[in-house]
Protein backbone atom coordinates (compact mmCIF):
# COMPACT_ATOMS: atom_id res chain seq x y z
CA UNK A 1 0.00 0.00 0.00
CA UNK A 2 1.37 3.41 -0.95
CA UNK A 3 1.04 6.14 1.65
CA UNK A 4 0.37 9.62 0.35
CA UNK A 5 -0.40 12.73 2.41
CA UNK A 6 -3.99 13.95 2.36
CA UNK A 7 -2.70 17.50 1.72
CA UNK A 8 -0.51 18.75 -1.12
CA UNK A 9 2.77 20.59 -0.72
CA UNK A 10 1.08 23.85 -1.73
CA UNK A 11 -1.64 23.33 0.88
CA UNK A 12 0.91 22.52 3.56
CA UNK A 13 3.04 25.56 2.76
CA UNK A 14 -0.05 27.78 2.89
CA UNK A 15 -1.00 26.35 6.29
CA UNK A 16 2.58 26.71 7.55
CA UNK A 17 2.56 30.37 6.51
CA UNK A 18 -0.35 30.90 8.91
CA UNK A 19 0.52 28.41 11.65
CA UNK A 20 4.23 27.81 12.19
CA UNK A 21 5.51 24.26 12.13
CA UNK A 22 5.33 21.83 13.73
CA UNK A 23 1.59 21.19 13.82
CA UNK A 24 -0.82 18.26 13.78
CA UNK A 25 -3.19 18.29 10.82
CA UNK A 26 -6.44 16.29 10.63
CA UNK A 27 -8.45 15.29 7.56
CA UNK A 28 -12.17 15.95 8.04
CA UNK A 29 -13.19 14.18 4.83
CA UNK A 30 -11.28 11.04 5.76
CA UNK A 31 -12.68 10.99 9.28
CA UNK A 32 -16.24 11.24 7.97
CA UNK A 33 -15.73 8.47 5.39
CA UNK A 34 -14.29 6.17 8.02
CA UNK A 35 -17.09 6.88 10.49
CA UNK A 36 -19.69 6.09 7.83
CA UNK A 37 -17.95 2.80 7.03
CA UNK A 38 -17.89 1.79 10.71
CA UNK A 39 -21.55 2.68 11.15
CA UNK A 40 -22.51 0.68 8.07
CA UNK A 41 -20.43 -2.34 9.14
CA UNK A 42 -22.43 -2.74 12.36
CA UNK A 43 -25.80 -1.45 11.15
CA UNK A 44 -27.18 -4.99 11.48
CA UNK A 45 -27.08 -4.62 15.29
CA UNK A 46 -29.91 -2.35 16.37
CA UNK A 47 -28.24 -1.14 19.56
CA UNK A 48 -24.72 -0.68 18.17
CA UNK A 49 -22.78 2.31 19.46
CA UNK A 50 -19.20 3.51 19.10
CA UNK A 51 -17.71 5.13 22.20
CA UNK A 52 -14.71 7.06 20.91
CA UNK A 53 -11.63 6.55 23.07
CA UNK A 54 -11.08 10.13 24.23
CA UNK A 55 -7.51 9.39 25.38
CA UNK A 56 -6.51 8.83 21.75
CA UNK A 57 -7.27 12.40 20.62
CA UNK A 58 -8.89 14.56 23.31
CA UNK A 59 -9.90 17.45 21.10
CA UNK A 60 -13.48 18.73 21.49
CA UNK A 61 -13.84 19.70 17.83
CA UNK A 62 -13.03 16.16 16.71
CA UNK A 63 -15.17 14.60 19.44
CA UNK A 64 -18.14 16.71 18.34
CA UNK A 65 -17.51 15.80 14.71
CA UNK A 66 -17.76 12.09 15.62
CA UNK A 67 -20.80 12.79 17.79
CA UNK A 68 -22.63 13.94 14.66
CA UNK A 69 -22.67 10.23 13.75
CA UNK A 70 -23.93 9.15 17.16
CA UNK A 71 -20.56 8.42 18.76
CA UNK A 72 -20.32 8.59 22.51
CA UNK A 73 -17.19 8.99 24.63
CA UNK A 74 -15.06 6.34 26.27
CA UNK A 75 -13.58 8.20 29.25
CA UNK A 76 -11.03 7.04 31.80
CA UNK A 77 -10.37 10.08 34.00
CA UNK A 78 -12.00 13.07 35.67
CA UNK A 79 -10.79 15.53 33.03
CA UNK A 80 -11.93 13.32 30.16
CA UNK A 81 -15.37 13.25 31.78
CA UNK A 82 -15.25 17.05 31.98
CA UNK A 83 -14.34 17.24 28.29
CA UNK A 84 -17.21 14.95 27.32
CA UNK A 85 -19.63 17.05 29.38
CA UNK A 86 -18.34 20.25 27.75
CA UNK A 87 -19.07 18.70 24.34
CA UNK A 88 -22.68 18.06 25.42
CA UNK A 89 -22.14 14.31 25.71
CA UNK A 90 -23.65 12.92 28.91
CA UNK A 91 -25.65 10.04 30.35
CA UNK A 92 -25.32 6.66 28.67
CA UNK A 93 -23.44 8.33 25.83
CA UNK A 94 -20.45 8.08 28.18
CA UNK A 95 -18.73 4.79 28.99
CA UNK A 96 -16.44 5.28 32.00
CA UNK A 97 -13.70 2.64 31.89
CA UNK A 98 -10.86 3.32 34.30
CA UNK A 99 -8.52 1.49 36.65
CA UNK A 100 -7.16 2.35 40.10
CA UNK A 101 -9.99 4.88 40.07
CA UNK A 102 -10.07 7.82 42.50
CA UNK A 103 -13.35 8.44 44.33
CA UNK A 104 -13.83 11.84 42.68
CA UNK A 105 -13.80 10.22 39.24
CA UNK A 106 -16.59 7.81 40.15
CA UNK A 107 -18.56 10.67 41.70
CA UNK A 108 -18.43 12.73 38.51
CA UNK A 109 -19.20 9.72 36.32
CA UNK A 110 -22.29 9.08 38.44
CA UNK A 111 -23.34 12.75 38.34
CA UNK A 112 -23.13 12.70 34.54
CA UNK A 113 -25.11 9.47 34.36
CA UNK A 114 -22.30 7.58 32.64
CA UNK A 115 -22.24 3.81 32.32
CA UNK A 116 -19.55 2.73 34.78
CA UNK A 117 -17.35 -0.17 33.73
CA UNK A 118 -15.73 -1.73 36.81
CA UNK A 119 -12.14 -2.89 36.38
CA UNK A 120 -11.88 -4.89 39.61
CA UNK A 121 -14.18 -6.79 41.95
CA UNK A 122 -13.00 -4.74 44.94
CA UNK A 123 -14.36 -1.63 43.23
CA UNK A 124 -17.94 -2.78 43.88
CA UNK A 125 -17.79 -1.84 47.56
CA UNK A 126 -15.61 1.19 46.81
CA UNK A 127 -18.12 2.49 44.27
CA UNK A 128 -21.06 1.93 46.59
CA UNK A 129 -19.30 3.71 49.46
CA UNK A 130 -18.31 6.56 47.16
CA UNK A 131 -21.61 7.34 45.43
CA UNK A 132 -24.02 5.77 47.94
CA UNK A 133 -25.60 3.25 45.61
CA UNK A 134 -25.00 0.77 42.81
CA UNK A 135 -26.23 2.00 39.40
CA UNK A 136 -29.02 0.01 37.78
CA UNK A 137 -26.93 -0.30 34.61
CA UNK A 138 -23.33 -1.37 35.14
CA UNK A 139 -20.53 -3.16 33.31
CA UNK A 140 -17.57 -5.30 34.31
CA UNK A 141 -14.23 -5.69 32.57
CA UNK A 142 -13.08 -9.24 31.85
CA UNK A 143 -9.56 -10.66 31.68
CA UNK A 144 -9.46 -14.37 30.78
CA UNK A 145 -5.74 -14.62 31.51
CA UNK A 146 -3.25 -16.71 29.57
CA UNK A 147 -2.51 -16.04 25.92
CA UNK A 148 -5.06 -14.86 23.40
CA UNK A 149 -4.65 -16.84 20.20
CA UNK A 150 -6.43 -16.94 16.87
CA UNK A 151 -5.80 -19.01 13.78
CA UNK A 152 -2.80 -16.96 12.64
CA UNK A 153 -1.00 -17.14 15.99
CA UNK A 154 -0.65 -15.55 19.41
CA UNK A 155 -2.13 -12.07 19.46
CA UNK A 156 -1.30 -10.88 22.97
CA UNK A 157 -0.88 -11.91 26.60
CA UNK A 158 -3.92 -10.84 28.67
CA UNK A 159 -2.54 -12.74 31.66
CA UNK A 160 0.23 -10.18 31.90
CA UNK A 161 -2.14 -7.18 31.80
CA UNK A 162 -3.26 -5.27 34.90
CA UNK A 163 -6.82 -4.82 33.65
CA UNK A 164 -10.03 -6.67 34.34
CA UNK A 165 -11.44 -9.50 36.46
CA UNK A 166 -10.74 -13.21 36.32
CA UNK A 167 -13.48 -15.57 35.15
CA UNK A 168 -14.36 -16.55 38.73
CA UNK A 169 -14.39 -12.91 39.88
CA UNK A 170 -16.69 -11.91 37.01
CA UNK A 171 -19.36 -14.44 38.04
CA UNK A 172 -19.06 -13.35 41.68
CA UNK A 173 -19.25 -9.68 40.66
CA UNK A 174 -22.45 -10.20 38.67
CA UNK A 175 -24.10 -12.01 41.58
CA UNK A 176 -23.00 -9.33 44.06
CA UNK A 177 -24.07 -6.42 41.84
CA UNK A 178 -27.43 -8.05 41.15
CA UNK A 179 -28.01 -8.49 44.89
CA UNK A 180 -27.18 -4.81 45.39
CA UNK A 181 -29.78 -3.64 42.89
CA UNK A 182 -28.14 -3.68 39.45
CA UNK A 183 -30.68 -4.61 36.77
CA UNK A 184 -28.86 -4.43 33.44
CA UNK A 185 -25.31 -5.63 32.84
CA UNK A 186 -22.55 -5.25 30.34
CA UNK A 187 -19.36 -7.18 29.62
CA UNK A 188 -16.20 -5.45 28.42
CA UNK A 189 -12.83 -6.84 27.31
CA UNK A 190 -9.72 -5.48 25.65
CA UNK A 191 -7.35 -8.34 24.89
CA UNK A 192 -5.14 -7.07 22.06
CA UNK A 193 -3.80 -3.73 20.89
CA UNK A 194 -3.41 -2.45 17.32
CA UNK A 195 -4.29 -5.67 15.52
CA UNK A 196 -4.00 -5.57 11.74
CA UNK A 197 -6.18 -8.55 10.96
CA UNK A 198 -9.88 -8.93 10.23
CA UNK A 199 -9.98 -11.99 12.52
CA UNK A 200 -9.48 -10.32 15.92
CA UNK A 201 -12.93 -8.87 16.58
CA UNK A 202 -14.86 -12.01 15.52
CA UNK A 203 -12.56 -14.16 17.71
CA UNK A 204 -12.99 -11.82 20.68
CA UNK A 205 -16.74 -11.68 20.06
CA UNK A 206 -16.98 -15.49 20.22
CA UNK A 207 -15.23 -15.53 23.60
CA UNK A 208 -17.48 -12.82 25.02
CA UNK A 209 -20.72 -14.12 23.47
CA UNK A 210 -20.19 -17.61 24.90
CA UNK A 211 -19.30 -16.09 28.26
CA UNK A 212 -22.45 -13.96 28.18
CA UNK A 213 -24.69 -16.95 27.56
CA UNK A 214 -23.21 -18.82 30.51
CA UNK A 215 -23.16 -15.76 32.79
CA UNK A 216 -26.81 -15.01 32.19
CA UNK A 217 -27.77 -18.64 32.74
CA UNK A 218 -25.70 -19.06 35.91
CA UNK A 219 -26.31 -15.69 37.61
CA UNK A 220 -29.71 -14.66 36.29
CA UNK A 221 -28.27 -11.23 35.41
CA UNK A 222 -29.79 -9.58 32.36
CA UNK A 223 -26.97 -8.81 29.95
CA UNK A 224 -27.90 -5.74 27.94
CA UNK A 225 -24.67 -5.03 26.03
CA UNK A 226 -21.27 -6.45 25.16
CA UNK A 227 -18.43 -4.00 24.64
CA UNK A 228 -15.75 -5.26 22.24
CA UNK A 229 -13.62 -2.27 23.24
CA UNK A 230 -10.72 -1.29 20.94
CA UNK A 231 -7.82 -3.17 19.42
CA UNK A 232 -8.60 -2.73 15.73
CA UNK A 233 -5.38 -1.24 14.45
CA UNK A 234 -4.05 0.62 11.45
CA UNK A 235 -1.26 -0.10 8.96
CA UNK A 236 1.56 2.17 10.07
CA UNK A 237 3.87 0.59 7.51
CA UNK A 238 3.10 0.77 3.77
CA UNK A 239 3.60 -3.00 3.42
CA UNK A 240 0.71 -3.76 5.80
CA UNK A 241 -2.79 -4.46 4.54
CA UNK A 242 -5.39 -2.31 6.30
CA UNK A 243 -8.29 -3.86 8.17
CA UNK A 244 -11.60 -4.02 6.31
CA UNK A 245 -14.21 -2.89 8.79
CA UNK A 246 -17.03 -4.32 6.69
CA UNK A 247 -15.47 -7.79 6.76
CA UNK A 248 -14.92 -7.40 10.51
CA UNK A 249 -18.54 -6.40 11.06
CA UNK A 250 -19.79 -9.34 9.02
CA UNK A 251 -17.54 -11.71 10.95
CA UNK A 252 -18.98 -10.48 14.25
CA UNK A 253 -22.53 -10.79 12.85
CA UNK A 254 -21.98 -14.47 12.01
CA UNK A 255 -20.75 -15.27 15.52
CA UNK A 256 -23.64 -13.26 17.01
CA UNK A 257 -26.13 -15.38 15.09
CA UNK A 258 -24.32 -18.62 15.92
CA UNK A 259 -24.04 -18.02 19.68
CA UNK A 260 -26.39 -15.35 21.01
CA UNK A 261 -29.49 -15.73 18.83
CA UNK A 262 -30.04 -19.45 19.59
CA UNK A 263 -29.69 -18.65 23.31
CA UNK A 264 -32.53 -16.13 23.08
CA UNK A 265 -30.11 -13.22 23.52
CA UNK A 266 -30.47 -11.64 20.09
CA UNK A 267 -31.40 -8.30 21.63
CA UNK A 268 -27.93 -7.62 23.05
CA UNK A 269 -26.41 -4.34 21.89
CA UNK A 270 -22.81 -4.24 20.73
CA UNK A 271 -20.47 -1.42 21.65
CA UNK A 272 -16.98 -0.54 20.47
CA UNK A 273 -14.39 1.82 21.95
CA UNK A 274 -12.12 2.58 19.03
CA UNK A 275 -9.54 5.34 19.02
CA UNK A 276 -6.63 4.54 16.76
CA UNK A 277 -8.91 3.12 14.05
CA UNK A 278 -11.16 6.16 14.20
CA UNK A 279 -8.56 8.90 13.76
CA UNK A 280 -5.05 7.47 13.42
CA UNK A 281 -4.69 7.56 9.61
CA UNK A 282 -6.51 10.90 9.38
CA UNK A 283 -3.89 12.93 11.20
CA UNK A 284 -0.28 13.77 10.43
CA UNK A 285 2.52 15.73 12.04
CA UNK A 286 3.91 18.39 9.73
CA UNK A 287 7.46 19.51 10.49
CA UNK A 288 10.20 21.41 8.70
CA UNK A 289 13.80 20.35 8.17
CA UNK A 290 15.94 22.97 9.89
CA UNK A 291 19.37 21.32 10.04
CA UNK A 292 21.44 18.59 8.45
CA UNK A 293 24.39 16.87 10.08
CA UNK A 294 27.10 14.70 8.56
CA UNK A 295 29.07 12.65 11.11
CA UNK A 296 29.04 8.88 11.53
CA UNK A 297 25.57 8.90 10.02
CA UNK A 298 23.49 11.32 7.99
CA UNK A 299 21.00 13.28 10.09
CA UNK A 300 18.08 15.52 9.25
CA UNK A 301 17.06 17.72 12.15
CA UNK A 302 13.44 18.89 12.21
CA UNK A 303 11.57 21.41 14.34
CA UNK A 304 9.33 18.73 15.84
CA UNK A 305 10.51 16.34 18.53
CA UNK A 306 9.21 13.55 20.77
CA UNK A 307 7.14 16.18 22.61
CA UNK A 308 4.96 16.29 19.49
CA UNK A 309 5.02 12.54 18.81
CA UNK A 310 6.56 10.22 21.35
CA UNK A 311 5.60 6.80 19.94
CA UNK A 312 8.87 6.32 18.01
CA UNK A 313 10.93 7.36 21.04
CA UNK A 314 9.22 5.16 23.63
CA UNK A 315 8.04 2.20 21.53
CA UNK A 316 10.42 2.25 18.58
CA UNK A 317 7.22 2.61 16.57
CA UNK A 318 7.34 3.05 12.82
CA UNK A 319 5.71 6.12 11.28
CA UNK A 320 5.98 6.59 7.55
CA UNK A 321 7.52 9.88 6.38
CA UNK A 322 6.86 11.75 3.14
CA UNK A 323 8.92 14.71 1.96
CA UNK A 324 6.26 17.09 0.67
CA UNK A 325 6.61 17.71 -3.06
CA UNK A 326 8.97 14.77 -3.49
CA UNK A 327 6.41 11.98 -3.29
CA UNK A 328 7.54 10.48 -6.59
CA UNK A 329 11.28 11.10 -6.16
CA UNK A 330 13.72 8.23 -5.79
CA UNK A 331 14.43 7.27 -2.16
CA UNK A 332 18.18 7.09 -2.64
CA UNK A 333 19.36 8.70 0.61
CA UNK A 334 19.47 7.18 4.09
CA UNK A 335 18.84 9.39 7.12
CA UNK A 336 18.06 9.43 10.78
CA UNK A 337 15.29 12.01 11.18
CA UNK A 338 15.67 13.55 14.61
CA UNK A 339 14.28 16.19 16.93
CA UNK A 340 16.02 18.57 19.29
CA UNK A 341 15.50 16.91 22.70
CA UNK A 342 18.49 16.06 24.88
CA UNK A 343 17.63 12.38 24.44
CA UNK A 344 19.19 10.07 21.87
CA UNK A 345 15.83 8.29 21.52
CA UNK A 346 14.35 11.47 20.02
CA UNK A 347 14.27 10.00 16.52
CA UNK A 348 11.31 9.82 14.15
CA UNK A 349 13.17 7.47 11.82
CA UNK A 350 16.40 5.50 11.88
CA UNK A 351 18.25 4.54 8.69
CA UNK A 352 15.20 5.58 6.67
CA UNK A 353 15.40 5.66 2.89
CA UNK A 354 14.07 9.00 1.68
CA UNK A 355 14.55 11.37 -1.25
CA UNK A 356 17.26 13.93 -0.70
CA UNK A 357 16.06 16.22 2.08
CA UNK A 358 17.08 19.85 2.02
CA UNK A 359 16.83 22.40 4.79
CA UNK A 360 13.44 24.07 4.42
CA UNK A 361 11.62 20.96 3.18
CA UNK A 362 8.35 20.03 4.85
CA UNK A 363 8.17 16.47 6.15
CA UNK A 364 4.84 14.75 6.72
CA UNK A 365 4.89 12.12 9.46
CA UNK A 366 1.89 9.88 8.83
CA UNK A 367 -0.71 8.26 11.10
CA UNK A 368 -0.49 10.59 14.08
CA UNK A 369 -4.24 11.21 14.40
CA UNK A 370 -4.44 9.06 17.53
CA UNK A 371 -1.93 8.81 20.38
CA UNK A 372 0.00 11.65 18.76
CA UNK A 373 -0.66 15.10 20.19
CA UNK A 374 -2.43 13.51 23.18
CA UNK A 375 0.76 11.91 24.49
CA UNK A 376 2.73 15.16 24.39
CA UNK A 377 4.73 16.46 27.31
CA UNK A 378 7.08 19.34 28.14
CA UNK A 379 10.52 17.83 28.65
CA UNK A 380 13.36 20.26 27.91
CA UNK A 381 10.82 23.07 28.16
CA UNK A 382 9.52 22.16 24.70
CA UNK A 383 5.99 23.31 23.90
CA UNK A 384 3.20 21.28 22.38
CA UNK A 385 2.10 22.21 18.90
CA UNK A 386 -1.15 23.42 17.39
CA UNK A 387 -3.87 21.15 16.03
CA UNK A 388 -5.50 22.11 12.74
CA UNK A 389 -8.49 20.61 10.95
CA UNK A 390 -8.41 20.49 7.15
CA UNK A 391 -12.07 20.95 6.27
CA UNK A 392 -13.81 19.13 3.46
CA UNK A 393 -13.83 22.29 1.34
CA UNK A 394 -10.05 22.76 1.73
CA UNK A 395 -10.29 25.51 4.34
CA UNK A 396 -8.45 25.15 7.63
CA UNK A 397 -9.66 25.58 11.20
CA UNK A 398 -7.44 25.98 14.23
CA UNK A 399 -8.80 23.52 16.81
CA UNK A 400 -6.06 23.93 19.41
CA UNK A 401 -3.51 26.71 19.54
CA UNK A 402 0.17 25.99 20.11
CA UNK A 403 1.43 26.30 23.65
CA UNK A 404 3.38 29.39 24.67
CA UNK A 405 6.00 29.88 27.39
CA UNK A 406 3.19 31.42 29.47
CA UNK A 407 1.44 28.04 29.43
CA UNK A 408 4.61 26.28 30.52
CA UNK A 409 5.07 28.62 33.49
CA UNK A 410 1.38 28.90 34.41
CA UNK A 411 1.63 26.45 37.31
CA UNK A 412 4.24 28.69 38.94
CA UNK A 413 2.05 31.81 38.94
CA UNK A 414 1.03 31.14 42.55
CA UNK A 415 4.53 32.19 43.62
CA UNK A 416 5.23 35.93 43.51
CA UNK A 417 8.86 35.58 42.45
CA UNK A 418 7.88 33.55 39.38
CA UNK A 419 4.51 35.07 38.50
CA UNK A 420 6.01 37.29 35.82
CA UNK A 421 7.14 34.28 33.78
CA UNK A 422 3.56 33.29 32.95
CA UNK A 423 2.85 36.78 31.64
CA UNK A 424 5.57 36.60 29.01
CA UNK A 425 4.79 35.18 25.59
d(CA 160, CA 177): 27
d(CA 305, CA 375): 12
Q: Which of 140, 284, 342, 414 is catalytic?
A: 342
d(CA 382, CA 236): 26
Q: Which residues lie closer than 8 Å to 93 by C-beta, 6 or more apart? A: 51, 72, 73, 84
d(CA 244, CA 251): 11
d(CA 188, CA 317): 27
d(CA 178, CA 185): 9
C-alpha triplet 351, 356, 362: angle, nearest 5°: 95
Strands (E), 112-217: 115-118, 137-141, 148-150, 153-156, 184-188
Which SS3 state, helix, strand or coil, does residue 166 take? coil
Q: Are 163 and 188 in contact (CB under 8 A)?
A: no
The Cα diameter of the chain in Å comes to 71
End-to-end C-alpha distance for the chain, whole angstroms:
44
d(CA 201, CA 225): 16
Q: Are 134 and 178 in contact (CB under 8 A)?
A: no
d(CA 305, CA 351): 17
342 included as an active-site residue: yes
The candidate with the shortest Cα–Cα distance to 33, out of 234, 347, 332, 277, is 277
Assess whether the previous peptide bond of 22 is cis (omega < 30° from 0).
yes
Q: List residues with catalytic annotation.
A: 342
Amino acid sequence: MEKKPFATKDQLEAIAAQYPTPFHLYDEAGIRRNMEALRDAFSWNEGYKEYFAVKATPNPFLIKLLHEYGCGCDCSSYTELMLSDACGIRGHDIMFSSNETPAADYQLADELGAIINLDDITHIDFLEETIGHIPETISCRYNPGGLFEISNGIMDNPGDAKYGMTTEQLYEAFRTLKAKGAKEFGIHAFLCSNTVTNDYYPALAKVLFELAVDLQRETGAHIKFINLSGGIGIPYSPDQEPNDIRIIGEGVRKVYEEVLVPAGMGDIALFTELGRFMLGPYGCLVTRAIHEKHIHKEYIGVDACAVNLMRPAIYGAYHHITVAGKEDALCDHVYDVVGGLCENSDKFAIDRKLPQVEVGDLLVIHDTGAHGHSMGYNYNGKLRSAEILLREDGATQLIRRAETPADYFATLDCFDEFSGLSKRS
